[in-house]
Amino acid sequence: MKLLFSAFALGFAGSVAAIPAVAPPTFAPADAPSNIPPFHNEVAPGLDPIAGYLPRTDVTEYLEKDLIQKELEDLIGDETCESFALASDFYNSGPGEYWKDIPTKTTSISGPYDEMQTYYGKDDFLQIWIDKAIKKTKTNYKRGNANFKDAFDPPTVPTPTSGKCVGYEEVLKKVLAYGSTLVEVYQLMQEAIDLAKGGCWWQRDGCEDAVEHWDAAVAIYVGSLEGQAGGNTVDGSYGKAPFALADKRCRNYGNCGPNNGQFYDLKAKYVQSPWNVKILAYFSAGSLAAYYGDWGPMEIYLQLISNASAGPLIQGTFRYYYRLSDLEFGNNSFSTLDKELGEGGAFIFPILPKLWACSTRGEKRAYAEARIGGGPAGNSEVDFLAIKLAFECNYRCLGIKCSHVGALYDGDASPKPGFEACDDEDNGSINQCAKPKGSVKKACRLYVGKPGIKKRDKVKFDF
């Protein structure tokens, strides 16, 4: 150490002779690996954008899966029980059989899909939900069960002849459109990653498989009904995939468009949700990584997309369970409509596993208020603040920010009573190094800790 220190000291004094520069090594052509073929530079021309995303492969087959969802919703759209009865044939022996095979790719299990399987304790948890909703009975999960019959019989809005099956309709179509679809998205991305790890590298040898599966994930997330621009401008209606959900919810929360709603226009359906902008940007970056066969960034983008895709579901959960509370009207005045409970239950279904993975405490309190059948929802006022805190206190783990979710307006000029957006700095969700304020920490003490998946609450990268 003394000699080393002396050398540095003398060097700074200018008393050490200059060290001769070492030339970098050179390689003759013969030293280069001989097993790398010429680069493959061709990209399929003439492919239409998917909501602005530029695919490299033709994934029309995946893009048009949303038409199955549309056909189902058209079939049961009048909310009568006679129409709902048709859903069974559609699912069991019609176009809806497609849903029985989701996820269609299972070479390995993605992180978000693994959380779902672990939480519900069943590999076929999606099919169980659909089957039990159609049969009007109850699920048999390890956690997060729903009793549809207890919640929706008798219907809250009966008609003289057949009654309304709107609750059953909502839990069926919303979980198919968003929960089932997102599982397929996650697993298609995972398949692309597995192929890249296996050596599928388009730039090097023309292997299209990894890129094709990544493009397919985008196609499933967006759907054909959104068009090339993703602007809902063809007939003024929304699509039937998660992309449409994000655009619907940002209108409720007043944060559509650039900078989380700086140019917000309630009537402009073509203005995109900030969730969709983020997700399609991650998809685009992942597509380039897949092109080069670099699975490391693809794994990160899958997690980021999974995080962001939970955002609209959280907004939907908040919107409908807020209506089931007495915060808006006070005096113990709250909705008991099957529609509100059906939608809220469908939105929270795909994200309860994420919350549980971060904190079993938070999940326990949220589920106690949100459960379909056997809980307060539909029978008495829901403790909405318990549901809100359960998620907000775990935003950092979930990779979500208060500014991304916002406050619920639902068309009003100011936020709904008792529903203000949390503050990221106070909440400790501004980035992975942030910590909550003392007041927030105190309010959150019953909603954080005890992650369902070990170390899941330890954020590995920023968001």
Among residues 70, 103, 53, the alpha carbon closest in space to that of 286 is found at 53
Higher-confidence residue of 380 and 145: namely 145
What pLDDT is recorded for position 431? 83
Give the model confidence (pLDDT) of 417-430 as tens digits.
Answer: 999 899 999 999 98
Residues in CB range of 78: below 8 A, 6 or more apart: none
Give the model confidence (pLDDT) of 382-438 as tens digits.
Answer: 999 999 999 999 999 999 999 999 999 998 889 999 998 999 999 999 888 888 999
Is the pLDDT reported for residue 15 higher than 50? Answer: no
Is the pLDDT reported for residue 158 higher than 80? Answer: no
| pLDDT above 90 coverage of the chain, percent | 69
Is the pLDDT reported for residue 33 higher than 80? Answer: no
CB-neighbour burial class of residue 267 (10 A; exposed 0-12, middle 13-18, buried 19+):
exposed
- What average pLDDT is seen over the chain? 87
Give the model confidence (pLDDT) of 341-371 as tens digits.
Answer: 999 999 999 999 999 999 999 999 999 999 9
Q: For residues 198, 199, 202 and 204, what is the CA-based torsion angle, rounded to 10 degrees?
A: 180
What mean pLDDT do residues 141-168 have?
85
Give the model confidence (pLDDT) of 318-332 as tens digits.
Answer: 999 999 999 987 777
Domain boundaries, the chain: 48-457
pTM for the model: 0.89
What pLDDT is recorded for position 4? 34
Q: Find residue 53's DSSP bridge partners.
A: 50
- Residue pair 145/138 in contact (Cβ under 8 Å)? The answer is yes
Among residues 213, 275, 266, 285, the alpha carbon closest in space to that of 244 is found at 275
For the chain, the distance separating the N- and C-terminal CA atoms, rounded to the nearest angstrom, is 43
User: Which stretch of 129-143, 146-160, 368-382 has the lowest confidence by average pLDDT?
Assistant: 146-160
Among residues 208, 218, 227, the alpha carbon closest in space to that of 185 is found at 218
- Residue pair 236/268 in contact (Cβ under 8 Å)? The answer is no
Residues in CB range of 404: below 8 A, 6 or more apart: 255, 260, 274, 275, 308, 311
